[in-house]
A and B are shown apart, each in its own frame.
Chain A
Amino acid sequence: MENEKIVEVCDEAAGEPTRDAVIDEELLIEEISIDGMCGVY
């Protein structure tokens, strides 16, 4: 989607990722536009 923006952090220097490191590399937020969906059920 045009309004979708992905925020990612890649840490190639890290060894085996810990749980927190995996979380940091994941998407913390995801934006979705619902414009134009009025009336869609």
Chain B
Amino acid sequence: MSLLDTPLELDPQVALRPEPFGALAYHYGTRRLVFMKHRDVVAVAQQLTAHPSLSAALQACGIAESRWPSFAKAFATLNESEIVRERPVAG
């Protein structure tokens, strides 16, 4: 299952601090600091819980499909860094 089809969420231990360039994301558990270097990435990250998948969040944020591969890579790295995680789907 592609990450684009996966429901994601910001890890509860992550604090997001908006900056002019995008945002700083800090994980209090792993002490990892990540620079989100574009505001679109921040917007999508903040919308993750409101949508059933990453692709839905990208679409809702008006991200052009030509850019989705870049965002998929970015969120895959964020997932590996535990900044975002797969969201359990209530069933």
Contact residues of A with B, CB < 8 Å? 3, 5, 7, 9, 20, 23-24, 26-35
Contacts and interface: CB of A to CB of B under 8 A. Distances in A.
Contact of B36 (A20, A29, A35): A29
Contact of A34 (B33, B36, B38): B33
A29 B77 contact: yes
Contacts of A29: 34-37, 41, 74, 77-78
Nearest to A38: B31
Contacts of A3: 32
Contacts of A32: 32-35
B37 A34 contact: no
Interface stretch (B12-20, B46-54, B62-70): B62-70
